[in-house]
Every structure is written in structure tokens, then in C-alpha cells.
């Protein structure tokens, strides 16, 4: 415990605060019995998200759809959980960068990647949220069926893109410089990916990761950038759902969010433990299966 306090005081403080909050609630036993299992969901979703750069929505959206949540509740709750998991993952990846790759040429463009992708992603998210708030076009008003359908289509396209990037993982020498066209592309991908993320709770992180890998950058560097980008993006999105839609299912977030913090912390070790190729094949196959499950049955 003393070692934990010295090395990770913030994590210990978060753990103690969470336990204190849980004990302070009047229905602690009921919450544990009814929602405690969501901790495992949070861990799983955060490991996928922070080990690949994709948002945790690839796990949360189909699961919450299976539980019968409304479309807006699915997206809002997914964002709230990701604020926990993606933040933990982003801090972990940034510490890894500072400790091991701060002077590594393969990681030298992290600041520029984030400078061009983060603001554009948040702008894309806010654009979609303004459109919904003004009721110019209701993206979630068509119900959970439409959300699941478009999530399925996007997931299949994303899986194809991931499969397409796998042969590029065999590189031993990596690109170390962003060109002007890359900066423009990152801004455009960030904006479009942010818009997709606001709609489906998944999108911008993996799109940027795939682009960086296809442009020849280090795979681990691409994942780290995508995780940090996703963390900023979900925080840019959560205010709308916390104060305007009021659609966040807080009992689920209480436990899944705590699990997501754990998953976000250990995800980096998963990436470093397995080869990038095996990780990408597994993740792409998972996303493809989820995408196919989102398509309507022909029968």
C-alpha cells in the first residue's frame, strides 16, 4: 500500500473517492447487485479502446442496444464511461511517451498530430450537437434501430480499413515528419471523425490511427495519438449530454466507469505484450462481427 501511495497517489485517491461515494449512497447494496457486473464491461471496453485507439463505443454501443437503451441514452452513457477510460488511457500513454520516447524521432510529431486533430474533432462533435439541439436534423430521433444500422455500416468499413493497414505493420523504418498535406488531412479526418463520434460514440480515434499507420508512422505512436485524441473528444462531447439531453444512465457509469479506468491503465501493457499485427487482426475481426450484427436480417 505504501508503494502504491508513493508511485500512484492519484490512482489511490480516485479509488478511495469512488469507494467513499459508493458507501455514501443510500442504496449501495442494490447498486452493487444490479450494476456491479458493468465493471467488467468497462474494463473490456477500455482495453479495446486504449489498445487500438478506437473509442470504447465499439463495445458499449452494441451492448447497450442489447439492453434496450434508447439511442440517445446509448451514446450519452458511452461518452460518460469513455471520459473515465480514455482519460486514464491518455494519461498512461502520455507518461509512457515522456518516460521512453520524448527524444525518439518516431514520436516527434505527437504535438502536431494532436494540435491539428483535437480542435477539429471537437468542432465536428459540436457541429452535430448544435444541429441536434436546434432540431435542424435529428440524428438520434430515428430510434435505436437506425443507430445500430449505421453503427454496423461504419464498423464494417472500419474493419476493412484496419485489415488494409495490417500489411503496413511490418515496417522497421518509420516516417518521422508530417507534411502539409498530412496536416490538412488530419484536420479533415478530425472534423469528419468527430461528427461521426458525436453520432455513433466511435470513430475519430481509429480513423486517425489508421491514417497515421498508412502514412508510415510508428504503430504504437499512432495508437497513443489516437487514445489522447479520443480522450479530448469525449470530454468535448460530454457537456451536451450532461446538461442538455440529461440522457446519461449514471448507475451504469458508476461501475462501468470505474472498470474503464482500470482498463485504460492496463491497455498499454496489452499493446506492448502482443505484436501489432495480432492485435489489429483480433480487433478488426471483433469490429467486423459487431458491424455485421448491426445490419438488418434478410430473413
Instruction: For residue 24, tell me if it sits in a domain.
Output: no
Instruction: For residue 70, tell me if it sits in a domain.
Output: yes
Instruction: For residue 21, tell me if it sits in a domain.
Output: no
Please state the domain count of the chain.
1
| pLDDT confidence of residue 4 | 45
pLDDT in tens, 81-112: 999 888 888 988 999 999 989 889 899 999 99
| pLDDT confidence of residue 264 | 83
Length of the chain as a residue count = 299
What is the sign of the dihedral through the CA atoms of 158, 40, 87 and 7? Answer: negative
pLDDT at 58 over 80: no
Helix axis angle, 204-214 relative to 144-165, nearest 10°? Answer: 20
Instruction: For residue 177, tell me if it sits in a domain.
Output: yes
Instruction: For residue 161, tell me if it sits in a domain.
Output: yes
Instruction: For residue 128, tell me if it sits in a domain.
Output: yes
pLDDT at 187 over 70: yes
Find the mean pLDDT for residues 62-88: 89
What is the sign of the dihedral through the CA atoms of 171, 173, 176 and 177? Answer: negative
pLDDT-derived band at 142 (thresholds 50, 70, 90) equals: low
Place of cell 469528419: 192
In angstroms, rounded to a whole number, what is the distance separating the alpha carbons of residues 74 and 27? 24
pLDDT at 57 over 50: yes
The residue segments making up the domain with residue 287 are 37-294
Instruction: For residue 29, tell me if it sits in a domain.
Output: no
Amino acid at each position: 500500500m505504501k508503494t502504491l501511495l508513493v508511485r500512484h497517489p492519484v490512482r489511490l485517491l480516485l479509488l478511495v473517492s469512488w469507494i467513499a461515494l459508493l458507501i455514501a449512497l443510500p442504496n449501495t447494496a442494490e447498486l452493487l447487485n444490479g450494476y456491479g457486473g458493468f465493471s467488467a464491461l468497462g474494463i473490456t471496453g477500455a482495453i479495446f479502446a486504449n489498445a487500438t485507439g478506437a473509442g470504447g463505443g465499439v463495445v458499449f454501443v452494441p451492448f447497450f442496444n442489447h439492453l434496450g437503451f434508447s439511442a440517445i441514452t446509448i451514446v450519452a452513457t458511452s461518452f460518460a464511461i469513455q471520459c473515465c477510460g480514455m482519460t486514464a488511457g491518455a494519461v498512461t500513454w502520455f507518461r509512457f511517451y515522456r518516460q521512453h520516447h520524448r527524444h525518439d524521432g518516431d514520436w516527434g510529431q505527437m504535438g502536431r498530430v494532436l494540435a491539428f486533430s483535437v480542435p477539429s474533432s471537437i468542432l465536428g462533435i459540436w457541429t452535430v450537437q448544435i444541429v441536434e439541439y436546434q432540431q435542424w436534423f435529428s440524428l438520434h430521433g430515428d430510434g435505436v434501430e437506425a443507430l445500430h444500422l449505421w453503427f454496423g455500416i461504419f464498423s464494417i468499413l472500419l474493419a476493412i480499413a484496419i485489415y488494409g493497414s495490417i500489411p503496413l505493420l511490418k515496417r522497421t523504418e518509420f516516417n518521422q515528419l508530417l507534411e502539409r498535406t498530412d496536416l490538412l488531412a488530419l484536420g479533415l479526418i478530425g472534423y469528419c471523425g468527430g461528427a461521426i463520434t458525436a453520432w455513433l460514440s466511435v470513430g475519430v480515434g481509429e480513423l486517425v490511427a489508421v491514417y497515421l499507420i498508412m502514412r508510415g508512422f510508428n504503430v504504437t505512436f499512432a495508437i497513443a495519438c489516437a487514445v489522447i485524441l479520443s480522450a479530448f473528444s469525449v470530454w468535448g462531447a460530454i457537456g451536451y449530454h450532461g446538461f442538455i439531453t440529461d440522457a446519461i444512465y449514471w448507475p451504469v457509469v458508476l461501475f462501468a466507469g470505474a472498470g474503464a479506468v482500470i482498463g485504460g491503465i492496463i491497455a498499454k501493457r496489452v499493446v506492448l505484450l502482443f505484436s501489432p499485427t495480432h492485435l489489429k487482426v483480433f480487433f478488426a475481426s471483433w469490429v467486423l462481427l459487431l458491424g455485421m450484427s448491426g445490419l438488418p436480417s434478410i430473413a
